Amino acid sequence: MTRPARALLKWSNLRHNYRIARQRTRHEAYAVIKADGYGHGMTACADALAGEADGFAVACVDEAVRLRDAGIRQPILVLEGAMEPAEWQLASRYHLQLAIHHPQQLRDRAAVVFDEAVAVWLKINSGMNRLGVRFSDAPEMIARIRNDQGLILRHVMSHFSSSDEADTACYEAQKTRMLGQAWPVPLSLSNSASVLRGGVEGERVLRPGIMLYGSSPLEGVTAREAGLRPVMTLQSALISTHSVPAGESVGYGGSWTAARETRVGVVAIGYGDGYPRHAPAGTPVNVAGVRCPLIGRVSMDMITVDITDAPEACIGSPVELWGELVDIDEVAALAGTISYELYCRLTPRVPRTNLQ
């Protein structure tokens, strides 16, 4: 029997989620497909949105060049910008848009000559204290960009640090500060959480990321409540079943002990596939249509689940780890992480199946 672990990718759901971003605000939206499309496949995501997305955003020039080589012609924004002078030449050659977040990038640009002007987005540090120039340095940076005939200042951008939190005081303060400046070009401010809150009045371009894949970034709001649909369904099947009496343990270290006679199902999935090793007992797994709890430690290639309450479950029964029936955000929270990491850590040995 072929190992049954696989990821089903429903591209109609990606398009549905993108449309939600556009409908919430009526602004343009650059779909963020960095990190191999959050583990979904970067070029596949771009192809699925080719007829709808206003543009795409990736982390680095290498990712952008891969998209161009794959035939993607929409605007592409490189969120980390050029990391060395040669990448400015690539940006010109491949018609890439670059974020500028540090004066060193302009010094690198001055070291090279390219034929076609490069569109740039100036990134402002509105409170994340990660990338971006401070408000006090922005006028000088804007002047340097606008005095360079090889550069076109397209947008001013920022990335909110707290738009996903239930307490929105910090988010509102950062919005107010960005909107309180007299910027010479349109703004791009909203990530997924900000989009789901309705965006920012006066901005021009959204940058939805995790919401495109069907996961909610908002505290206290599920993906279903936000109207989002999962693009990825991680599936496998039972490869063994057996019973253990009350008092016996299951898995490495004997960390889980049966309180009753328990019917155990063994699923062909593990941390070698990207399923979180730290998922605790009780993490939901859907077996043959029944919600069942994970028991014992996650192994490299297998997990064990309590299928006592799923009497029809047998070898070959379908199992969903996350997707339509199991919310990935719930799995991630129980494992002490976020859905972004679970999507991105899915390993190559899990085959992808594309659905329309």
Q: What is the DSSP string of 242-277?
A: EEE-TT-EESGGG-EE-SS-EEEEEES--TTTT--T
Helix (H) or strand (E) holding 305: strand 303-306
Its sign, for the CA torsion 235, 236, 242, 246, is negative
Give the dihedral of Cα atoms 101, 103, 106, 108; nearest 10 deg.
-100
Which of 34, 123, 213, 271 is the catalytic position? 34
| Contacts of 277 by beta carbon, 8 Å cutoff, 6+ apart | 271, 297, 298
Taking alpha carbons only, the member of 141, 75, 58 closest to residue 105 is: 141
Tokens of 292: 């069942």
Work out the number of other CB atoms within 10 angstroms of the CB of residue 144.
Answer: 17
**b (16+ CB within 10 A) / e for 279-297:** bbbebbbbbbeeebbbbbb
Assess whether 34 carries a catalytic annotation. Answer: yes
Helices and strands in the chain: count of H runs, count of E runs: 11, 18
How many residues in total does the chain contain? 356
The answer to whether 212 and 229 are in contact (CB under 8 A) is no
Strands 55-58 and 205-206: unpaired
Strands 303-306 and 262-267: antiparallel
Calpha distance 67→190 (Å, rounded): 23
Strands 290-295 and 303-306: antiparallel
DSSP state of 137: G
Calpha distance 190→30 (Å, rounded): 10
Active site residues: 34, 252
